[in-house]
Structure 1
């Protein structure tokens, strides 16, 4: 029953060394590409994996998103029945795929040798596949944290393999809300789905605005942004609504090809900060001397937890269905 209700709501909503100042300081348009990590992801609270993929594809289509990027962990495919077919469906719909390691290790907790072996295992599976781009995204956006030797070793290794660092510039911790919903459903808590939709959209739009303001302060312009999302039931429900909300705020949805062709991409292989983890926006702002905080407040899980509790969970005394 809850699945049918969620799907019905979804369809209803759907109908509704670097210079401090780069050369281009007059970018009039806020541009952003959409990317999804950890594919194939585990099932969520509401949909089967097949249902989720179909809803994400349809949501992107209805929102006229020409191209999203899906970053794969091929080592998880055997644990997710039908995953290879779902990945092919994303590509058939015009989207692209790229490397996110084979089994999703964190670099800061893994030796360089083991990390590269995992990366190469994913590359072997990906080789020759339709929709493949020469991009690599670090799991957890972890580029070695305080270990500059690991950071630099991976920069060399990526260059040797013809891969670019497929950074994100905007992050709203959507994984947190996925986990919060799953936990609430397991506890039989009452979730206000309309409020969940509103919060999901708000945090992502606010994150885009916040990171763009940070980037403008750091480099004097708005770069082509890349939003970090995950293959979740919440994306399946609300991706079309999110796109429309971004467009209402003046954002243009672009392809990841365009985003990674932006001059801002050069920072990904050159920035030098005391700890290498997080969005590229944060790292560049740190390098350029922008004062903290250099990230969106909603990435603080304490704050996100309070938002979810007070805005999404119904009071147990509330009998309004």
Structure 2
């Protein structure tokens, strides 16, 4: 049975239907989907921070003792609530104040992990010597606040071409309950620091602002490069892990770096979140065990263009000379 509707009832109904169709028409849906896709693309760019070689010697810019306080303040400003410091306890003595510095990092909310006691390169020592170096560091670290059972290879040297040595250390880490603290984003800040130290000792004038720009630019480029490499290799975006060192450059410019990364759509996450990512447990089987986790995974899977160019010391030295020394 059909109901007869008066024009006064029918007209508002028709107008409502037109409005609903206009609002929910396919091109509106397409636009909404596009916006959601952009949001997902931005939100999956996650990045965490790690700092190696703590405690480290005096740098080119700051007075002795200034670096730790400035570094902690800069990370707080940057919104880096939880970085991980990979510690070399063999550098800590009873009267140098370094233990207090390491504990201050932990008290500020950051994590402590193993970087060997004396920073040996695996390719240069025996398996027994290397494992003893790890054990010595563990003795110092265990019981410290915010300790994590993670290990970072000095120089990112996991045995080079010696697969037997690589596998022996992997087995030794598992036996000790230690996870390989992977890295993905590297721009050789240690090399920039070395160049600055040499320039300072030689009495050369350096452009402080240009140094900061070079540092930030290089690490942002490295993050974008590693993100692309990971997507080409794994078909997804793992949490990227930045490799810095406890240098004057990190203390002076880490907040600028964090701000620049955020402008590129990166979200800063904790080291704990990073090492929960599946990439943390991958063990690439490559002919040469050295470099970042993304580089080695790409090598294992024959993905091309694996090397960020500014990790080439000749390239970095030329940029430093042109932009910082203005030669």
The answer as to 2:72 corresponding to 1:57 is yes
Write out aligned runs for 1:161-180 (5 A).
161-180=176-195
* Matches of 2:170 and 2:90, distance apart in 1: 23
1:80 Cα deviation after fit = 7.8
Q: Which residue is equivalent to 1:105?
A: 120
* Matches of 1:274 and 1:27, distance apart in 2: 34
> Which among 233, 258, 267 is matched to residue 252 of structure 1?
267
Q: What secondary structure is seen at the aligned counterpart in 2 of 1:185? A: helix
Q: Which residue is equivalent to 1:120?
A: 135
1:28 Cα deviation after fit = 4.4
* Matches of 1:26 and 1:145, distance apart in 2: 35
The answer as to 2:203 corresponding to 1:188 is yes
- Any conservation in 2 of the 1:142–1:278 contact (CA below 8 Å)? yes
Q: Which residue is equivalent to 2:326?
A: 314
- Any conservation in 1 of the 2:58–2:64 contact (CA below 8 Å)? yes
The answer as to 2:303 corresponding to 1:290 is yes
- Number of residues of Structure 1 aligned to a counterpart in Structure 2: 288
1:123 Cα deviation after fit = 0.4
- Runs of 4+ deviating beyond 3 Å: 25-28
The structure number with the bigger radius of gyration is 2
1:314 Cα deviation after fit = 3.2
- Any conservation in 1 of the 2:184–2:226 contact (CA below 8 Å)? yes
Q: TM-score, with normalisation over the residues of structure 2?
A: 0.86
1:246 Cα deviation after fit = 0.5
Deviations 1:231-282 (A, max 9, x none): 0001111111110001001111111100010011121xx3100010000010
1:211 Cα deviation after fit = 1.0
Which ranges in structure 2 are unaligned for 5 or more consecutive residues? 1-39
The answer as to 2:296 corresponding to 1:276 is no
Q: TM-score, with normalisation over the residues of structure 1?
A: 0.87
> Which among 281, 304, 311 is matched to residue 316 of structure 2?
304
* Matches of 1:161 and 1:147, distance apart in 2: 21
Seen in structure 2, the aligned counterparts of structure 1 residues 147 and 27 have a Cα distance that, compared at 3 Å, is farther
Deviations 1:271-297 (A, max 9, x none): 100010000010001111101x30210
Q: Which residue is equivalent to 1:157?
A: 172
1:46 Cα deviation after fit = 1.9
- Any conservation in 1 of the 2:43–2:266 contact (CA below 8 Å)? no
- If asked which structure has higher relative contact order (CA below 8 Å, sep 6+), I would say 1
Q: What secondary structure is seen at the aligned counterpart in 1 of 2:93? A: helix
Seen in structure 2, the aligned counterparts of structure 1 residues 74 and 290 have a Cα distance that, compared at 3 Å, is same
* Matches of 2:84 and 2:200, distance apart in 1: 29
Q: Which residue is equivalent to 1:137?
A: 152
* Matches of 1:101 and 1:40, distance apart in 2: 12
Q: What secondary structure is seen at the aligned counterpart in 2 of 1:123? A: helix
Seen in structure 2, the aligned counterparts of structure 1 residues 80 and 234 have a Cα distance that, compared at 3 Å, is farther
